Amino acid sequence: MSTIANVPEVINNYNVYHNGNVLIGVSGSVTLPSFEAITEEVSGAGVLGSYDTSIAGMYSSMTQEVPFRILDEDIFTLMNPSELVDLTFRASAQSTVKSTGAVDYKGMRIVERGRLKSFTPGNYELGKQMGSSVTLELMYIMIEVGGVTKLEYDKLNSVFVVNGKDLLEKVRAFS
């Protein structure tokens, strides 16, 4: 049994980058995309009833909404539908060291690539943020924690690696 040295707590701080440039207009909260497996119902000879099976490496449309405080230059840099948007989320993840109670930090990085799917200009209201946003259709996502790649998923190039294991290696070998 592995011993957990730190208790994960919070994202202490984060930034969002587009092609290496900080997007300073991003609002305080960004919800990362869900992975919803594409499934098929299996029934017939040898099966009592039916069940849904996940198709390895196949996920439904994945979207990333990037919320902005107001309409500013940053939001418009993501809006060319003919170009791939390349985003990097970098965070400092705070934890407590169990043995000492001290606070510690490790890096978290998420890279996403996709195309513009929608644009929401937002609302005009005195003294309020506008609630503007762009939504991207993701083709690629990579999640790195503490400098180690935990997940890499590339829809267009049949890449699906989790904890260093290539989950589509056999699929590519036979197709």
pLDDT (tens digit per residue) in 98-149? 999 999 999 999 999 999 999 999 999 999 999 999 999 999 999 999 999 9
Structure tokens at 164: 């260093």
Task: Compute CA 8 distance to the chain's CA centroid, rounded to the nearest angstrom.
Answer: 19
Residue 163 has pLDDT above 70, yes or no: yes
164 assigned to some structural domain = yes
Q: What is the mean pLDDT of the chain?
A: 94
Between strands 103-120 and 85-97, the pairing is antiparallel
51 assigned to some structural domain = no
48 assigned to some structural domain = no
DSSP helix, strand, coil percent of the chain (3-state; round to 5): 5, 55, 40
Cα first-last separation, the chain:
38
CA distance 122 to 134: 10
55 assigned to some structural domain = no
Structure tokens at 112: 């996403």
Residue 25 has pLDDT above 90, yes or no: no
41 assigned to some structural domain = no
Give kind and range of the element (H or E) at residue 174.
helix 169-174
- Geometric angle at alpha carbon 75, from 70 and 80, rounded to 5°: 150
13 assigned to some structural domain = yes
Give the pLDDT confidence score for residue 1 in this predicted structure: 59
Structure tokens at 78: 């993501």
- Cβ–Cβ under 8 Å, residues 63 and 137: yes
54 assigned to some structural domain = no
Overall domain count for the chain: 1
Give the pLDDT confidence score for residue 169 in this predicted structure: 95
167 assigned to some structural domain = yes
pTM of the model: 0.90
CA nearest neighbour of 13 among 113, 82, 93: 93
CA nearest neighbour of 112 among 78, 146, 80, 81: 78
Provide the pLDDT confidence category of residue 81 given band limits of 50, 70 and 90.
confident
Q: Supply the range of the domain harboring residue 139.
A: 6-33+61-174
